[in-house]
Structure 1
């Protein structure tokens, strides 16, 4: 495998880190519903000249899977994005990235629960570590404070966003739709736009303004996050496989923290390093230690 192949998932994560920064910038400039709606409009407009004809030729397959595409669009492009933008109003970009990096672990846990996949030793140990790390992070170094007072709203919303995207990944694995990746992405974006449209119409006046501050944020979200990031990730999965690409998600908090310090003047605290490090270590263990948990129990029993 050429080393250049690893650039695809790496660059995808770079653009993903940029998207977290844009989400934070957008929090004070535009409604989460509005930027989610506008980014979908922009992405669909740019992709339509290339995909409308192939989708029309493949309409029978798309018609058979329309409800799976609709559910995928709801989870990955409407719910995940809107919750992420809402979370940015009350948490830091670094926290958002650390919670987002839990997606591979959450996907593995949901796969075990919903698809009957084997529970591995890595999932058990990594899950406990990651949960402890997140508690330490959102409690700013005091786990007791989280248990007593609860977590911040932004961190909770970001966790729900990560769960929505993890469920999306599990459902894709279960459905195995025979539709090319770009056509599937386009149709999911179209369904997500349908879901967001009534919410967009209900927005209060002044919360969906297009101006010199919001247009660049929408452009990044619609072009770099929705199209270029997707292209790099699809190419990475094609060349390296999903498991190798998933490991690159561990870089997301590191890259996001660097950008947040440089562009947003966010401080880097000790609890970010300790809690985030423990959480990411748990994710890495879950991804790499694949020994079945019950096999371990059986050997100990003997």
Structure 2
């Protein structure tokens, strides 16, 4: 094995690690529903991430404020879609659906990104994107209907799955806005300012709903969410993009449903059924087909 091949082998561990962290966060999100409210864990997550980053990043933000201030409105929009709407709805959805389903629906980010790009960037999807999207949507309906899509008409849909679909749709906007604006701001500075906006957005909800106390039952989940998916995974993901390129890196997002299902099976004892296998295979095939001859979405932020 040549030195270049060895470096490539190690580089592959970077996106795998990031996706594993985000997959575990989905399971943590589902696990902690009995111990803390969605608003509380969402606020604590970004609050502690902000505290951890402040000693290291705030001096740089002050020094480079001339670079940041002109883009404050754009950073505020990115924060609203990526850090608040996506994650807040995901924490709420976890009360009504399984971690396995959440992982499967998260795999729709590339599909939704294609169509949001069409709306905002006027990027017209090719026939592969259209066919792949229809296939993936059919697979999603099959999973949501637990193998009986027609049952959704009588059951009125699965509330948690619908919330998760909306959350993923918002995250697609985050990726497209990143691509549209291409802000020339270092990743950690951008993330720090976005986290600050996220805390401000949370204040009305905290004032209205209050905060649950951190205790022995939920402290581990809060700490994990504050550090690993919020800070470590984005850095590892960006390192992967630098070494493998955005297109090759984004393919690893398709591992999220698999990782999430395995972790949920071991930790939460969630069952992986035949309809998950069939629907998941259809979804992943559609996603791969949809990305044929298209640019992979820009995915820079924590999940």
| TM-score band w.r.t. shorter chain | over 0.9
Residue of structure 2 in register with 1:189 after alignment: 195
Measure how far apart 1:5 and its partner are: 1.1
Do structure 1's residue 57 and structure 2's residue 67 form an aligned pair?
no
Measure how far apart 1:262 and its partner are: 0.3
Do structure 1's residue 201 and structure 2's residue 207 form an aligned pair?
yes
Q: TM-score, normalised by structure 1?
A: 0.93
Residue of structure 2 in register with 1:107 after alignment: 113
Residue of structure 2 in register with 1:239 after alignment: 243
CA deviation vs aligned residue, 1:113-151 (integer Å, no higher than 9, x gap) = 221113122211110100000000000011111234332
CA deviation vs aligned residue, 1:93-126 (integer Å, no higher than 9, x gap) = 0100010111011111111222111312221111
Do structure 1's residue 168 and structure 2's residue 177 form an aligned pair?
no
Rounded Cα–Cα distance in structure 1 between residues aligned with 2:141 and 2:206? 34
CA deviation vs aligned residue, 1:201-222 (integer Å, no higher than 9, x gap) = 2225xx6121001110000000
**Contact 1:100 1:162 (C-alpha < 8 Å) held by counterparts:** yes
Measure how far apart 1:289 and its partner are: 4.2
Residue of structure 2 in register with 1:18 after alignment: 24
Which of the residues 36, 40, 54 maps onto 1:48?
Answer: 54
Rounded Cα–Cα distance in structure 2 between residues aligned with 1:219 and 1:63? 30
After TM superposition, the structure 1 stretch with the greater mean CA deviation from structure 2, 68-77 or 109-118, is 109-118
Residue of structure 1 in register with 2:101 after alignment: 95
- What's the Cα RMSD here? 1.4
**Contact 2:129 2:292 (C-alpha < 8 Å) held by counterparts:** no
Which of the residues 125, 130, 151 maps onto 2:136?
Answer: 130
**Contact 2:23 2:103 (C-alpha < 8 Å) held by counterparts:** yes
**Aligned pairs, number:** 289
Rounded Cα–Cα distance in structure 2 between residues aligned with 1:68 and 1:98? 30
Rounded Cα–Cα distance in structure 2 between residues aligned with 1:120 and 1:73? 30
Do structure 1's residue 229 and structure 2's residue 240 form an aligned pair?
no
Which of the residues 142, 147, 164 maps onto 1:158?
Answer: 164
Which of the residues 92, 104, 108 maps onto 1:86?
Answer: 92
Rounded Cα–Cα distance in structure 2 between residues aligned with 1:290 and 1:210? 45
Rounded Cα–Cα distance in structure 2 between residues aligned with 1:290 and 1:78? 29
Q: TM-score, normalised by structure 2?
A: 0.92
Q: Which runs of 5+ in 1 are unaligned?
A: 292-302
The alignment partner of 1:178 has SS state of coil
Residue of structure 2 in register with 1:275 after alignment: 279
